[in-house]
Amino acid sequence: MFKDKYRSIITESYIPYVIEEGKKIKKRNKFQKLYTNCNGDDRDLWTYVTFQHPATFDAIAMEPNKKQEIINDLMAFTKSKEYYNKIGKAWKRGYLLYGPPGTGKSSMIAAMANLLHYDVYDLELTAVKDNTSLRKLLIDTSKKSIIVIEDIDCSLDLTGQRKNQFKEYENKDSKVPAIKEMAKGTRDKKKSKVTLSGLLNFIDGLWSACGEERIILFTTNHVEKLDPALIRRGRMDKHIELSYCGFEAFKVLAKNYLNLESHNLFEKIRTLLEETRMTPADVAGNLMPKSPGLENAGEVGLENLILALEKAKEVERLKAEEALKEDGDNGELDEEESDEEDDEEDGSEGEGTSDEDEDDDSSDEDFLKI
């Protein structure tokens, strides 16, 4: 029992503090889950395994300022329930991760989930029958979760321009292959009838408000292929480019893989990274020691990376020279074609002149006869 004079302190400060701390402990002890959607014929919509990916933001190879910006954005989202209620929007946020293969998009997803202690729903669109099934999957997700669609540009035809199911196939030799191709196309269309409109409603339509504190995340290697309606602000609120490895990202990898924060080879690597392009995955692959127990494993890893960067630089140089040569050859061909056209025009003019001369000669002859 507490004395009455402490009642306000207990009810206004102590009890709310205990409740909040209890929530934090529960959150820390909760094991995360990685879900994937089941085949449409299964009774369960999702199946899961324990999410145990070790990725953290400390291990992400990225410019420190950009990394901190993403962390701040995520943490601000988790504390914005009242703000979203105030502006009349569902408590959710969209992220688009784009960049070449090997730049860490999947690791970024795992780092986000580990930072927020959110479950991950890996949505395979090609296994979803239609828009109705997509809505059912959305309803069956929990709050405090990340819904991921990886390589969305490859998942479905989301341009909104569906191909004609009974497209004409032409084959001069035989109609049998054409019939087979048409049948194959029909079967493929039966796999999924999810449309661009259905996916847009999934992201920010009426059904998207069924649940709260959710992140919807797309990844792509080719952002230019995506329909602008799919990735506009308000659907994909934050666009994050994951590009080739810079020097700051390299230092993170050197620290993680080799436990090196400085070395006399760093400056040479900085110069090479500025002159050529290599993904963080390739940099990490070259840094990883073949035998971690060696005393000079760090130096060996750096030397391996330097050799790989020099080789990549040479490959890029040869490609550039080849491209220039092709452009030069094409230019010469264009000039030759232009010269040939000029010669043809000159020839036709010459023929016209010859005909006129003949007409003049015949007129003179007729005049003499008269």
Q: What is the pLDDT of residues 220-254, one digit of tens each?
A: 999 999 999 999 988 999 999 999 999 999 999 99
User: Of 7-11, 90-94, 360-364, where does mean pLDDT reach its minimum?
Assistant: 360-364
Which of the two residues, 181 and 223, has the higher pLDDT score?
223
Amino acid (one-letter) located at 26: K
Task: Look at residue 190 and tell me whether its pLDDT is greater than 50.
Answer: yes
Q: How many CA atoms lie within 13 A of 153 on its CB side?
A: 15
C-alpha of 211 from chain center: 26
Q: Which domains does the chain have, with CATH numbers?
A: 31-156+192-241 (3.40.50.300), 159-191 (no CATH), 247-331 (no CATH)
Transcribe 203-257 into DSSP letters.
HHSGGGGSSSSEEEEEEES-GGGS-HHHHSTTTS-EEEE--S--HHHHHHHHHHH
Picking from 240, 243, 265, the residue whose alpha carbon sits closest to that of residue 254 is 265
Report whether 200 contacts 152 (CB < 8 A): no
CB-based burial of residue 71 (10 Å sphere; 0-12 exposed, 13-18 middle, 19+ buried)? middle
Element (H, E) at 120: strand 119-122
At 5-32, the pLDDT tens digits run 777 787 778 888 888 888 777 766 678 9
Q: Looking at residue 369, what is its pLDDT?
A: 40
The single-letter code of the amino acid at 49 is V
Q: Chain-centre distance of CA 268, in angstroms?
A: 31
254-288 pLDDT tens trace: 999 999 999 999 999 999 999 999 999 999 999 98
149's CB contacts (< 8 A; 6+ apart) are 123, 125, 155, 217, 218, 219
Question: What pLDDT is recorded for position 193?
Answer: 85
pTM: 0.74
